[in-house]
């Protein structure tokens, strides 16, 4: 019998992705302060991994018999991280900064259990089409991506903002790369076909 599986997230998108593997699991929010955990971390790759690890380890501290999956995404424009905009005005400004440019969507995953951890980073290269301010405002009003890094929901209307996406695992774009996640869970004894 395998350990209980917990997704250290309350994201409906990550929950829907993990549910595709047909395993029983629970969702438990980590409650971490993302600002605190990313303080002093210089590179976007390190920020994403630090946040995924912090989420998983924080939940594991209260659920020690479980296998816990933590995941986080960072939008990297060069060496800068673009976070969750929180306001429509900031979302529009982020979209205009990304418009016509290529950026990276970094999806980090940490799978932890007492006595072990595996973590990795999925790197997706995304090119946004040029946008006018009116298009950015219309998109933000329609999709309300205020809680999304980079100010877009790729799993919704946000797909219309892009010219090109290069990814090894399309599920990483939504928030949890299932190719590697399912391989790691199989390695831990979870019965995935």
Round to whole Å and give the CA distance between 130 and 51: 31
Give tens-digit pLDDT for 73-84. 999 999 888 888
What residue ranges define each of the domains in the chain, with the CATH number in brackets? 5-187 (3.90.950.10)
State the pLDDT confidence band at 38, using cuts at 50, 70 and 90.
low
Active site residue 169: no
What is the pTM assigned to this prediction? 0.91
Return the structure tokens found at 49.
């991994």
pLDDT number for residue 152: 95
Give tens-digit pLDDT for 103-157. 999 999 999 999 999 999 999 999 999 999 999 999 999 999 998 889 999 989 9
The residue from 72, 122, 147, 169 that is catalytic is: 72
pLDDT number for residue 33: 78
Tell whether the torsion through CA atoms of 40, 43, 48 and 53 is positive or negative. Answer: negative
Check if the beta carbon of residue 70 is closer than 8 Å to that of residue 112: yes
Count of other CB atoms within 10 angstroms of residue 186 = 13
């Amino acid at each position: 019998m395998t350990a209980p599986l917990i997704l250290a997230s309350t994201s409906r998108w990550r929950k829907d992705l993990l549910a595709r593997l047909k395993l029983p699991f629970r969702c438990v929010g980590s409650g971490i302060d993302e600002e605190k955990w990313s303080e002093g971390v210089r590179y976007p790759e390190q920020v994403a991994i630090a946040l995924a690890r912090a989420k998983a380890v924080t939940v594991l501290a209260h659920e020690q018999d479980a296998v816990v999956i933590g995941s986080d995404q960072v939008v990297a424009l060069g060496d800068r991280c673009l976070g969750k905009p929180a306001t429509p005005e900031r979302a529009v400004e982020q979209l205009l900064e990304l418009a016509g440019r290529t950026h990276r969507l970094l999806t980090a995953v940490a799978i932890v259990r007492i006595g072990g951890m595996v973590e990795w980073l999925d790197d997706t290269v995304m090119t946004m089409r040029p946008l006018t301010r009116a298009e950015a405002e219309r998109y933000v009003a329609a999709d309300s991506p205020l809680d999304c890094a980079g100010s877009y929901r790729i799993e919704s209307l946000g797909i219309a903002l892009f010219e090109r996406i290069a990814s090894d695992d399309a599920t990483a774009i939504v928030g949890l790369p299932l190719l590697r996640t399912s391989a790691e869970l199989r390695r831990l004894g979870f019965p995935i076909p």
